[in-house]
Structure 1
């Protein structure tokens, strides 16, 4: 049997880099353009410019106020505190419905993971209620809970529960069998098995479900407030603010209310969910 041939080792001396070959740092403009917030800011400024041009060409403030007029109305709403007060009322109701929806989704998915009856229950309920728009349940909610925050919380739970439960259960089903076996070998069962094995492994799907549930809940809340508005002593949230100003033909304030809805959505996305992803799934190498 012949011995394997071994390549002889050798070293190769490389010539030093010339001045033309030395890597030069990128110019400041290129380094700035690599920042995501710079590119997004430029896009927003371009869209604002297009809005201003379209409004001036339309020349009808009742139908389409200019970006400058909307910015002034937005600033006045912030200065007076009305926009912040209305936004605070909406977010307080949203938080209650969102947390209750998360809790209900966790209970359903835990049951579905543990028992066959739980899986059948989750499949049946999601098939029945997930296609049903949350705002369509508002008349029923008004009959059951009256004109108040209870009706809003009811439709918010519906809007959060089903997409989050579907995403979470899908994430649980995609957990590798190796991790499942490791959890069972450690004697984990029931709730401890879900918390220590399934939840960390399925976290990308869970975070995606949380983001989808937040978006559904936020737009459902604004739509519900537009329908019946007030929740307490004639005071309503952002949806009621938009509805009132539409009735009074203050179109610039209507657009200011819509801008506040967008700003809150951007802040929640960039400060809450991006931070959550960076601290968990990206840090753990589960997501790029």
Structure 2
């Protein structure tokens, strides 16, 4: 519709027809920020926690939020909680790195050779349903108390879901991309790094998140059982010791530390990777 016809039919535009942009109310603008919404959720949970603890009035069974914060801050200042957290994170990084490397190797072999695909399918069908905690007695017999046993069960917990996610992502790469890579002369490792990994990265990133969660909770569970050797116990052993001393507030402080580290890793690491990769590439909304 031309401008002349529009003006002849409806008349010239008037100020009454002008579109006026009005800013959103302050409350709507604040709630548009995901970080603020999540903070409000955490504050609501803390308020509910405090209210129930005051109502129950039983610090031995359920300490209040303020008592937990006090125990947390006391153990932070004494250095006990920092040392235990550092021990756990050190073992976690070691086990997670080993599992990621093993999963990458298995998924790469599965995509390049038929024997590798059969091997991955068979091993995941056998070991993925097996709970990592069920391997604790064997780990204790084979490796004794300490870090090697924890690494064994942690690698088992992370390896299979991560390898399955990576293999599923590789299998979902379109034939057009595969043919383009082969036409460009890519074979073997260059084909995997140049074509398969970028195209399958959403599935790989999901596997890394799932593997991280499995590694973290398996580590804490293993430390609760036999996580101390030469005074190198981690957060799980910290929780166990305080349970034996009936220091329930410190038990809650240890559990809160586990949750806090999980939130920090999700926000600072995985969301940063996601923002600079799959979201930037338009592969995820």
TM range (shorter): over 0.9
Q: Is the 8 A contact 2:173 2:196 kept in 1?
A: yes
Query: Contact (CA 8 Å) 2:147, 2:227: kept in 1 or not?
Result: no
Number of equivalences: 280
Aligned to 1:124: 122
Unaligned runs of 5+ in 2: none
Give distance in 2, aligned partners of 1:103 and 1:285: 27
Moved more, 270-279 or 41-50: 41-50
> 1:40 and 1:88 mapped to 2: Cα distance?
27
Q: In 2, Cα distance between the equivalents of 1:228 and 1:169? A: 34
Task: Indicate the residue corresponding to 1:142 in structure 2.
Answer: 140
Determine the C-alpha separation between the residues in 2 that align with 1:19 and 1:207. 50
Question: 1:278 offset after TM fit, Å?
Answer: 0.3
1:237 and 2:234 are equivalent in the alignment: yes
Residue 255 (structure 1) aligned with residue 252 (structure 2): yes
Cα deviation 1:106-127 (Å, max 9, x = unaligned): 1101111011111110000000
Query: 1:113 is matched with which residue?
Result: 111
CA distance in 2, matches of 1:184, 1:136: 44
Once the 2 structures are TM-superposed, how far is the Cα of residue 28 of structure 1 from its aligned partner?
2.5
TM-score by length of 1: 0.94
* 1:103-147 C-alpha deviation (Å, 9 max, x unpaired): 000110111101111111000000000001111111111222111
TM-score by structure 2 length?
Answer: 0.95
Q: Does the CA contact (< 8 Å) of 2:242 and 2:248 recur in 1? A: yes
RMSD over equivalenced CA pairs, Å: 1.5
2:269 aligned with 1:272, yes or no? Answer: yes
Change in Cα spacing, 1:79 to 1:15, as seen in structure 2 (3 Å) is farther
Residue equivalent to 1:42: 40
Q: Distance in 2 between matches of 1:235 and 1:273?
A: 28
Which structure dedicates a bigger proportion of its chain to helix?
Answer: 2
Partner residue of 1:187?
A: 185
User: Is the 8 Å Cα contact of residues 146 and 227 (structure 2) preserved in structure 1?
Assistant: no
Corresponding position of 1:28: 26
